Amino acid sequence: MEYVQGENLAKEYLPKYEEGEIEKIKNWLKTNEEMQTTIINGYQEAKWLAEHYQMLANYWANNFAKIKTEEEEKRKELKDMKRKLTIKLNNKNNKRKCNDTEYVKNKKNKK
């Protein structure tokens, strides 16, 4: 009984539509659903793209960091090699100087 009363109330208070208007509303609802699905699909696609761009950015950042650390290690190795070579050269020069002074001393002593 209540259902019939509700149906009667709906008939009274709902606006009267002509047959063409109902088709227009149905078409609008269909297009609205299509628009919603395209918006949802676009959102999902944009989200997917953003995630993959983030992954690429992280990948390149990590690679750049690796390259940078490798370059820093190479620089440190080169600095160490340079330092060792300068120490060797200084030692050789010091030995020559020592030998030269000894040579001069010996020469003076021989006279």
The pLDDT, as a whole number, for residue 87 is: 81
pTM: 0.39
pLDDT in tens, 51-101: 999 999 999 888 888 888 888 999 999 999 988 888 877 777 666 665 555
- Which residue has tokens 């190795």? 77
The pLDDT, as a whole number, for residue 34 is: 83
Q: C-alpha angle with apex 62: 61 to 66, nearest 5 degrees?
A: 115
pLDDT in tens, 47-61: 999 999 999 999 988
Cα–Cα distance measured from residue 64 to residue 86, given in angstroms and rounded to the nearest whole number: 32
Of the segments 3-7, 64-68, 106-110, which one has the largest average pLDDT value?
Answer: 64-68
